[in-house]
Amino acid sequence: MDTAALPPLTPGTLYLVATPIGNLEDITLRALRVLRECDVVAAEDTRRSGQLLKHFGISRPLLSYFQFNEARRSEEIIERLRHGAKVALVTDAGSPGISDPGERVVKAAIAAGLRVESVVGPCALVGALTASGLPTDEFHFVGFLPHKSGQRHNRLTALQAVPGTLVFYESPYRIEKLLGELAEVYPARDVVLARELTKKFEEFLRGKPAELLAVAAKRSLKGEFVVLVAGADAPSFPRSDSTSIAEEEELEDGTAPSSAG
């Protein structure tokens, strides 16, 4: 496909540009073109996005746009768009607006009658869900739970009635805490931990919450995680086709009897 034949960027458009969540090969050709041709890149962390641009040999003015200046910066971005600027919005990783800044300026742009385009690409939620083995036809994205224990428990309990696969983002510092909470609220459900997606140590750990807790007790779980919980009505995970958690752990320990041959 000849990208040179594509029309130039449209003045007065806000481009939401997805960027890699680990593997730099995951940037799209369109993302690179938008970043190269825009007037300004609004970035959650200008230093980090500056490094990304530099890696791809792109040099554009950067404007900080993060949680605590979103309101002020949104107005400024809207003004620029009204004057015909082409603005790219990026976050530290993945798709803007998904547990990341973005929603506010998108709403403001729409309210001002301006054009918004999604330059689609990496998103941890989609990467985790599609490879999880859990139903993908219906899912509920929760994102991050609140930090306070009581609020977390209430939220988890309220989600029991939600149909479809539940998808959470969680920090490595709270992953064991979340597994403990899932063991209480969802003891019988299949859970998948999608760790370090697109990176060297990417792995999927599958099991009941208590089984995954046992894994966490044996080895510290590090890195970035998406946690998926099977919906109330989901069929049980097809264990016969895949290595169970327990078997995987034995293989890692070297304690598993050899099944080769």
Distance CA 56, CA 48 (A): 13
45 — phi, psi (to 5°)? -135, 105
Instruction: Work out how close the CB of 126 gets to ligand SAM at its nearest, in angstroms, rounded to a whole number.
Output: 8
Residue nearest to ligand SAM (CB): 94
Q: Which is nearer to ligand SAM, 18 or 245 (CB)?
A: 18
Distance CA 180, CA 184 (A): 7
Extract the tokens encoding 239: 């264990």
CB-count burial class (<10 Å; 0-12, 13-18, 19+) for 113: exposed
Distance CA 215, CA 139 (A): 26
Q: Which is nearer to ligand SAM, 124 or 245 (CB)?
A: 124
Instruction: Work out how close the CB of 107 gets to ligand SAM at its nearest, in angstroms, rounded to a whole number.
Output: 17
Q: What is residue 168's three-state secondary structure? A: strand
Distance CA 236, CA 223 (A): 27
Q: Which is nearer to ligand SAM, 12 or 20 (CB)?
A: 20
Beta strand spans in the chain (E): 13-17, 40-43, 62-64, 87-90, 115-119, 139-143, 165-170, 191-195, 203-207, 225-229
Q: Which is nearer to ligand SAM, 53 or 197 (CB)?
A: 197
Instruction: Work out how close the CB of 137 gets to ligand SAM at its nearest, in angstroms, rounded to a whole number.
Output: 20
Residues in touch with ligand SAM (CB under 6 A): 21-22, 91, 93-95, 98-100, 123-125, 169-171, 194, 196-199, 224-226
Instruction: Work out how close the CB of 5 gets to ligand SAM at its nearest, in angstroms, rounded to a whole number.
Output: 30
Distance CA 242, CA 1 (A): 39
Q: Which is nearer to ligand SAM, 60 or 199 (CB)?
A: 199
Instruction: Work out how close the CB of 227 gets to ligand SAM at its nearest, in angstroms, rounded to a whole number.
Output: 8
Distance CA 213, CA 176 (A): 7
Q: Which is nearer to ligand SAM, 55 or 82 (CB)?
A: 55
Instruction: Work out how close the CB of 171 gets to ligand SAM at its nearest, in angstroms, rounded to a whole number.
Output: 5
Q: Which is nearer to ligand SAM, 21 or 35 (CB)?
A: 21
In a 13 Å sphere around the CA of 89, the CA atoms on its Cβ side amount to: 28
Instruction: Work out how close the CB of 258 gets to ligand SAM at its nearest, in angstroms, rounded to a whole number.
Output: 32
